[in-house]
Structure 1
Amino acid sequence: MRRILATAGLLAGLLLAGLTAPTAEAAPTWNLRFEDYFNIPVAKGRFTDCDHSHDTPKAYCGGLTGSVRADWWAYPAGWPDTATQRHYPVGGYYDPATTLWISGGQLHIRLWRGASGSVHSATVVPKAMMGQRYGRYEERWRVSKAEVGYKSAHLLWPVTNGGCSEIDFPELEWTKTIAAFAHPSNCGQQMGVDTGKRWTDWHTSVIEWTRGRVSFILDGRTVGTSTDHVPNTAASWDIQNESALNGDRAALNSSAQMDIEYVKGWSWS
């Protein structure tokens, strides 16, 4: 089962657990590996045929061309999202063809539910950032249309070790506030922080992950740092958006949208 994440109902008991204020130390050295400002338009309906070599740098979507095909992969159509895997009353299935497009210098992610059936979810993955241990992960985004029943978990998903060793930021439902989580490699209690900020404003979020330390930065301010059981296994950066996990249910004939201006990724040395 993929991408099994914490529910919002657990958040209150986890806030600030294992998180510390940052301390003075030598700045890490970051090496830029990937950046995309979404200057190449891609029409809706082109993120198709994505079930090739999934979860590896050789993955691709056959409906894409050129540098976009070389740079990006999406979860294939029909994969269940976390709510569906958990058998929640309203869950979703990934459907990149109807949820993803690029225009006006932005990647648009529109999740939706029709007159019946499941949510149509979306996750994109920058292939250059697959299977990397440690790094810096930055994106600028906002939720331009928030509706009950939709959420994000932009996460570092471990190549091995199942759901342990996971790092999530930004996460939680789009009608709530933005949170961050770190899951230790030993599958123990996760650590989390609620930033108190709303999804509907423009934000720049950063995960900085080095040996024994993970920091969460929002709009230039460090909102949490963990040094307790920090993951040490290679992970891929999955920009995941799906059905709510806090009990909210997306209404029939509803939709919600996130827009991303850029993403950047660095390795650590």
Structure 2
Amino acid sequence: MPSPRHPTRHLLAAALLTTALLTAPAVEADALDWHPRFADDFDTDVPRGSFSDCAHHPDTPQAYCGGLTGALRERWWAYPEGWPDTATQRGLPVGGHYDPATTLSVSRGKLHIRLWRGRTGDVHSATVVPKALMGMRYGRYEERWRVSHVSAGYKSAHLLWPVAGGGCAEIDFPELEWTATVAGFAHPAGCGRQFAVDTGARWSRWHTSVIEWRPGDLRFLLDGEEVGRTTREIPDAPMTWDIQNESALNGEQAAPGSWSRLDIDYVRGWSLG
């Protein structure tokens, strides 16, 4: 969720100001439009604790986690230990701080994002960032995921966030608490009325989600079906994809000693050319 550099990143994300559930026949991405930039099937195991020492050149393509080595260090970055998540920045009764070393690991072809709360203290949150997809102007972003262990008090906001000076611009899909249904949001840079879609899908099932961001056109796809589309006030400045997971914002509170886990099967990214 938001780092100290952009503390208002998600102040609007929880409010459903406009709700639309749109369904349409599956439409394949035009192969001539998209150029592959990133792909990871998580074939290399990474033990818990390896995503550590991540405060190097934060939020830039030069960012890295010192605990990673080789290709993993070149490909992935994570929010550093101690950054407050959105619930903490809002002063909610139960918030969290980012802690990649205790929350992130890779095994059996999956990236495991295990959020947890100790018997006392805050939630331990996690955000990972594919470095090759940082700072793109338009793109296609795809991932396959499910929440394999659901507990109240945890959520995702896998979002596109402007590199600089974006006003309220923000694109979120998938988003919301893991006990709720999967939603998507688009916030215009001018801070006007947001676009929102509730898919009705549950986080506990495997899903493939796609954001397609073109000039003047934004589409959300879930499992091959278009579930939302808007052409109103689409952001046009470079943005970075943050695969963000944190404390709940809807009033739920993670219980002491609880945990919840999101598994990601693969991640893909394309630039628009």
Q: Work out whether 1:79 is the aligned partner of 2:108.
A: no
Distance 1:154 1:5 in 2: 15
**Partner residue of 1:191?**
195
Q: Work out whether 1:156 is the aligned partner of 2:164.
A: no
Letter of the 2:129 partner, please give it: V
1:164 CA displacement: 1.6
Contact kept, 8 Å, 1:45 with 1:97, in 2: the verdict is yes
Q: Deviations over 1:152-185 (max 9, x none)?
A: 0000011123462110000000000000000112
Distance 2:78 2:187 in 1: 24
Contact kept, 8 Å, 1:4 with 1:163, in 2: the verdict is no
4+ runs deviating over 4 angstroms:
19-22
**Partner residue of 1:64?**
68
Distance 2:166 2:253 in 1: 27
Letter of the 2:139 partner, please give it: G
1:187 CA displacement: 1.5
CA RMSD of aligned residues (A): 2.0
**Partner residue of 1:106?**
110
Contact kept, 8 Å, 1:50 with 1:60, in 2: the verdict is yes
Report sequence identity in percent. Answer: 64
**Partner residue of 1:145?**
149
Aligned pair partner of 2:37 in 33, 46, 52: 33
Letter of the 2:257 partner, please give it: N
1:21 CA displacement: 6.8
Q: Give 3-state SS (helix, strand or coil) of 1:189's partner.
A: coil
Distance 1:154 1:245 in 2: 15
User: How does the TM-score come out when normalised to structure 1?
Assistant: 0.94
Q: 1:163 to 1:44 in 2, by over 3 A?
A: farther
Aligned pair partner of 1:230 in 217, 228, 234: 234
Distance 2:165 2:249 in 1: 23
Q: Work out whether 1:259 is the aligned partner of 2:263.
A: yes
Q: Work out whether 1:46 is the aligned partner of 2:50.
A: yes
User: How does the TM-score come out when normalised to structure 2?
Assistant: 0.93
Q: What stretches of structure 1 of length at least 5 have no aligned partner?
A: none
Q: 1:104 to 1:268 in 2, by over 3 A?
A: same
Distance 1:68 1:252 in 2: 33
Distance 1:6 1:163 in 2: 12
1:5 CA displacement: 4.1
Contact kept, 8 Å, 2:94 with 2:247, in 1: the verdict is yes
Distance 2:270 2:167 in 1: 23
Distance 1:183 1:55 in 2: 21
Q: 1:152 to 1:5 in 2, by over 3 A?
A: farther
Letter of the 1:170 partner, please give it: P
Distance 1:7 1:129 in 2: 22
Q: Give 3-state SS (helix, strand or coil) of 1:138's partner.
A: strand
Q: Deviations over 1:56-113 (max 9, x none)?
A: 0000000000100000000000000000011111100000000000000000000000
Comparing 116-125 and 156-165, the one that deviates more: 156-165
Q: Give 3-state SS (helix, strand or coil) of 2:158's partner.
A: strand
Letter of the 1:135 partner, please give it: G
Distance 2:70 2:205 in 1: 32
Distance 2:217 2:166 in 1: 20
Contact kept, 8 Å, 2:167 with 2:190, in 1: the verdict is no
**Partner residue of 1:6?**
12
Q: Give 3-state SS (helix, strand or coil) of 2:132's partner.
A: helix
Distance 2:116 2:18 in 1: 30
**Partner residue of 1:15?**
19
Count of residue correspondences:
266
